[in-house]
């Protein structure tokens, strides 16, 4: 005998709530299989949940769609900043610049290493050091670096910094919507459970097949156990389940990556790393 399966994803919750709402709007109260109190509660609650559901997905999809552009700008910024520091070292090796010039960029006089440029924090930190250091060095009478010039590097740096800022805004928007929908989830489950219990109680005197058919028209989901399924029914259910699961898995993976990124770029970690960099490459 098939068993009732309550929704366990936000997409399934929304589908269940909307199915019940449609029936509530189509039928008069005396024909409705669940109470007017639950119908009113559903009408008051659903807009909040649906709005936050779509806001969460829209924000994440916007962020993901911009990721390619962000990554390209990050790669370019890293290339130009790295080349500038390499040219600085070459100029010092040739004797065109004194080794003390490195201090303008926050690097020790005799340290010929290229600063770390792997992460977003690295690029923003050392890119800013480069721009300010070059301005200070030339203001003290030094000749401007070329191939690339600081002006060209600054353009690439600012493009990346703007993209980074936009990513953080979209990231915060996604995480806000995710936290809000998480807070709404318990009430969604409570409403669905209460409505489905009332629906099944209304049709309780009908034969099992008729009861399930009537309840399913309200959005109640029944699932056959593997040994109870016919071949066609098994394929149909598995295809439906797989579509939902794949969408939720993709969304969950993107969201987990987003939370990881948020952790890595948190303000406290950024300040700590900048302090470590400053100490390692102190004048």
Cβ partners under 8 Å of residue 29, min gap 6: 36, 39
**What per-residue confidence (pLDDT) applies to 2?**
85
Side-chain-side CA neighbours of residue 193 (13 Å): 7
pTM: 0.69
Confidence at residue 68, expressed as pLDDT on a 0 to 100 scale: 86
The stretches in the chain having pLDDT less than 70 are: 227-283
- pLDDT, residue 26, reads 94
CA 56, 59, 64, 70 dihedral sign is: negative
The whole-angstrom separation of Cα 221 and Cα 6 is 7
Q: What is the distance between the alpha carbons of residues 6 and 222, in angstroms, rounded to a whole number?
A: 9
Backbone angles phi, psi at 260, to 5 degrees: -65, -45
Write down the pLDDT at residue 225: 77
Supply the pLDDT for residue 95. Answer: 93
pLDDT at residue 269, rounded to an integer: 45
């Amino acid at each position: 005998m098939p068993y009732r399966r309550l929704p366990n994803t936000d997409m399934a919750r929304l589908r269940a709530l909307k199915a019940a709402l449609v029936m509530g709007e189509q039928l008069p109260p005396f024909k409705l299989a669940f109470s007017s109190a639950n119908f009113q509660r559903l009408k008051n609650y659903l807009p909040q949940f649906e709005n936050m559901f779509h806001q969460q997905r829209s924000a994440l999809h916007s962020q993901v769609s911009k990721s390619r552009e962000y990554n390209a700008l990050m790669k370019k910024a890293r290339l130009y900043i790295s080349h500038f520091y390499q040219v600085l070292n070459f100029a010092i090796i040739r004797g065109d610049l004194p080794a003390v010039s490195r201090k303008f960029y926050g690097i020790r006089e005799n340290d010929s290493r290229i600063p770390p440029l792997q992460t977003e924090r690295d690029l923003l930190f050392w890119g800013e050091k480069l721009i300010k250091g070059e301005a200070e060095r030339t203001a003290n009478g030094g000749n401007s670096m070329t191939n690339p010039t600081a002006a060209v590097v600054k353009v690439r740096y600012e493009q990346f910094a703007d993209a980074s800022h936009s990513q953080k805004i979209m990231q915060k928007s996604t995480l806000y919507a995710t936290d809000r929908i998480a807070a709404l989830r318990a009430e969604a489950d409570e409403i669905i459970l209460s409505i489905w219990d009332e629906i099944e109680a209304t049709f309780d005197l009908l034969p099992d097949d008729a009861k399930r058919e009537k309840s399913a028209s309200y959005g109640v989901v029944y699932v056959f156990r593997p040994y109870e399924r016919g071949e066609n029914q098994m394929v149909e259910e598995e295809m439906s389940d797989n579509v939902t699961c794949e969408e939720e898995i993709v969304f969950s993976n993107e969201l987990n990556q987003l939370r990881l990124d948020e952790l890595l770029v948190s303000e406290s970690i950024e300040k700590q790393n900048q302090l470590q960099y400053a100490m390692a490459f102190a004048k």
